[in-house]
Amino acid sequence: MEKVLVSGVTYDKNQSKITILGVPDKPGIAARLFKSIADADIVVDIIVQNVSSDGKSTDISFTVPRPDVQKAVSITENVVQNLGAKGISVDNNIAKVSIVGVGMKTHSGVAAKMFETFAEQGINIKMISTSEIKVSCVIDSKYTELAVRVLHDAFELSKEV
């Protein structure tokens, strides 16, 4: 049954995470930021935005390919100065680990099983992105191989290449 739900595990260690701290929570901010990054031909993979409890500011985190991180940071710093955000942080020691499978579209609990599997191994999740057929988690890169191995075991996938 699990084999039907999840057909594979993938990973990408060639990612960096950029976080903009204390961004004013106003319409158009994300559009301005990501338009500038897109205009520079930088591909953004995962985006997470969280509004503060007071509703006045937000943190925006996103991932870009590691070779583009300096260019993306430079663009982001220019946008941040114009927005009045509090700052930027960059994490180059991340990896994106994903489970994929068309069965996830019609079955509940697949993401929960992934998160539980990581928790049992002490792997902290920094970001989560989902679609109908994929769940991706950004984690510390040092846990990549462990994460892939335990997900293969949890979802009873073959480890053969």
pTM to 2 decimals? 0.89
| Residue in the structure block whose two tokens are 């903009």 | 20
Q: What residues are paired with 68 via a beta bridge?
A: none
- Tens-digit pLDDT profile for residues 78-121: 988 888 889 999 999 999 999 999 878 888 889 999 999 999 99
What are the domain boundaries of the chain? 2-13+93-154, 14-92
What's domain 2-13+93-154's architecture?
2-Layer Sandwich (3.30)
CA gap 128, 142 in Å, rounded: 18
What's domain 14-92's architecture?
2-Layer Sandwich (3.30)
- Tens-digit pLDDT profile for residues 123-161: 999 999 999 899 999 999 999 999 999 999 999 886 654
